[in-house]
Amino acid sequence: MLAKNPNGFFLMVESGLIDKYAHALDFDRAVYDTIMLDNAVRQTKEWAKARGDDTLILVVADHNHPNSLIGTMNDDMKSVPNVPMRERVGTYEKAGFPNYPAPDAEGYPNRVDVSRRLAIFSAAAPDYYETFRPKLDAPNLPAVEGADKTTFVANEKYKDVPGAMLRFGNLPAMMNASVHSGEDVILTATGPGAERVHGSMDNTEVFRVMVEALGLGSE
């Protein structure tokens, strides 16, 4: 509908659940929503290509999270009997490759509770029980309101998950989720004006790239 305007258009689409699930330390769902964003970008690029590439497409995060992929969770680690979940975190050469089933037509594996899966952890968190497993029943809820109604405590729902361990947080107790972090983020661009996107840029420069692509204020 927007493309009917002969003067062009501006459309901003946010895949906001990546952020919300990252706050909740629910990394499986955050990755699924990243796949959804990837699908949206691919469809947009195909749409622009069919028009003759007259559309600037910018893909960028509005901030980072202190969450990183550090290896795999490996349930099949049989070297030690009854090995605690923590000892099943495979890093460096022990990480190997995850064994998710092949992705479906939209790019999603049809299950995430496989025996060797992504190990993603946050560097900023409230007190919470780390289960080292995807939350299949409902999105993760790491901390809940404490008895004093002003601070949050680790959610006991996950306490008895086999191998779960209490991880003490490093955020104020009045916070129930992880937070944003200050790294530079990646900005990718295709289409007219994309050549202006390179190197290290202030975010205010991105505004100029967009304004010029729209033909506004060039005088």
Taking CA atoms, 11 is separated from 55, 59, 77, in Å, by: 11, 12, 48
- Rounded to 5 degrees, φ, ψ at 100 are -60, 150
Can you say how many angstroms the Cα of residue 83 is from the centroid of all Cα atoms in its chain?
29
Comparing CB distances to Zn ion, the nearer of 87 and 184 is 184
Q: CB of 180: closest distance to Zn ion in angstroms?
A: 6
Which range, of 13-21, 79-87, 113-121, 209-217, touches Zn ion by CB under 5 A?
Answer: 13-21
Comparing CB distances to Zn ion, the nearer of 45 and 180 is 180
212 binds Zn ion (CB under 5 A): no
Cα distance between residue 108 and residue 102, in whole Å: 8
Residue type, 127: D
Neighbouring CB atoms inside 10 A of 106's CB total 9
19 binds Zn ion (CB under 5 A): yes
64 binds Zn ion (CB under 5 A): no
Q: CB of 63: closest distance to Zn ion in angstroms?
A: 7
Q: CB of 23: closest distance to Zn ion in angstroms?
A: 5
175 binds Zn ion (CB under 5 A): no
